[in-house]
Structure formats: C-alpha cells, structure tokens
Structure 1
Amino acid sequence: MNGISPKVQNQIAMLQQIQQQMQTIGAQKTQYEMAVREAKRATEELKDVAEDAPVYLSVGTVMMQKKKEEVEKNLTEKIETLELRVKSLEKQETMLQGKFEQLQAQIKQALEGKAPVNAS
C-alpha cells in the first residue's frame, strides 16, 4: 500500500474487520434460522400425535419420554428465543452494513483525492 496515507490504511483495515464481523454474524444468523425451521417442523409433527401418545425427546445421548404438552411448550419457547436472536443479529448486520458503506465511501473519496477522509 505504497502511497496510501496511514489514515487510509487504518480505514481499510477497519473495513476488513467489519466485513469479517458481517460474515460471522451472517453464519450465526443462518444457524439460528435453521434451528427455528427444525423446531417449527417438530411442532408441526407433534400436531398429528394423539394427546396421550408417548413423545420422546433426545437429551444428549439419552431418549426421554415426556408429555406432549411439555414438549410443545419447550419447542415454542425455543422458537421464541431463537427468533429473538435472529432479530438481534439482523439489527447488528444492518448497523455493520451502514458502517461498512460509510467507510467504503470515505476510502473511495480519499483514494480519488476528492476530499479528506474523516476518521470514525
């Protein structure tokens, strides 16, 4: 990066960090969304099960028999928690995207020599 000011080099490094954070958040969001889909699918499958039929829940390496209503309640709570996490990650993603675009514009201006780069 010869000929690039230390300030711009620092901003480029910040831009790369933001990009890595966005990738990490995207991966986490995908995992949570997949877990939500799985829990919703399990909830749908439980609708076809009779109220008095045994329902088995995998806990680690052990299968445990539980009441249908208890399993449904746990799945509902799990879905709500996961959906909150997804929303939180979406907010972080939006915030980082805004910072990324702003920093990218500042770097572009500095490299084109249009205006001095403001440090964030």
Structure 2
Amino acid sequence: MSSPEIPESIQQDLIKLQQLQQQYELVLAQRTQMEIQLKETEFALAELSKLEGEPIVYKSVGPLLMRGSKAQFETELNESKETLELRVKALLKQEEQLRKQVQELSLKIQAQLKSGQSPPSN
C-alpha cells in the first residue's frame, strides 16, 4: 500500500514557500537589529543634548575610546540615525512584500492540495 505522491509542481511550490519563509525571517531579524541600533542612537543623541557647553566627549570604537566634540558626535549620530531610519523603512517594505508572497503561495498550495491536482506549469 503506497501513499499518494505529491505532484512535482506542488513540491516545487513547497520548496519556494520554505525559501520565502526563510527570507522573511531573515528580513525580520535584520529589521529588529536595525531598530535596536536606531533606539541606541536616539538614546545617545538624547544624552548628548543634556550636556551643556562644549564638553569633550568620548565614543567607543571597538576596544578604543575616541575623543571628540559634542557637535562632531551629534553630527555623526544624526547621520547614522537617518541611515538607520531609511534601512528600517526599506526592510519594512521588503518584509511586507515577502509576507504577501508567503500568504499567496500558501493559499495556492492549499487550493492545489484540496483539489488534488496541480495547475499547468508557467
């Protein structure tokens, strides 16, 4: 007694679905990481804004502490913040596209399995 074999087109769609899900999870992880970096940058900017005058400020660069001015680091942090905001926005868009693709392909596979047949290959 043998179980019914899944048609090749459905197998291919299942593989594609798995790949899309992996891409979605990767994009989600990247966005989460960028949002954490963005929050850290915003926190650093808020702390710098509390400093009065022109104090000497240090930032960590790997194992080193770099000396600079408040204005210099504010400029760097603002540029970094803008870049991170753009990346988060792009990742959100990519995440939404992947989510839609996963959803559409899942529905297609479910319909194919319910009907017991596969549509013609494109």
Query: TM-score, structure 1 length as denominator?
Result: 0.92
Aligned to 1:96: 98
Counterparts of 1:15 and 1:65, CA distance in 2: 50
Aligned to 1:29: 31
Aligned to 1:74: 76
- TM-fit CA distance, 1:58: 1.3
Aligned to 2:67: 65
Q: How does 1:36-51 map to 2 (within 5 A)?
A: 36-51=38-53
8 A contact 1:106–1:117 mirrored in 2 = no
Structure 1: unaligned runs, 5 residues or longer:
none
RMSD of aligned alpha carbons = 1.8
Q: Which moved more, 1:43-52 or 1:108-117?
A: 108-117
Counterparts of 1:98 and 1:104, CA distance in 2: 10
Equivalent in 93, 112, 115 of residue 113 of structure 1: 115
Change (3 A) 1:19 1:52: same
Query: TM-score, structure 2 length as denominator?
Result: 0.91
Aligned to 2:6: 4
Moved runs in structure 1, 4+ residues, more than 6 A? none
Structure 2: unaligned runs, 5 residues or longer:
none
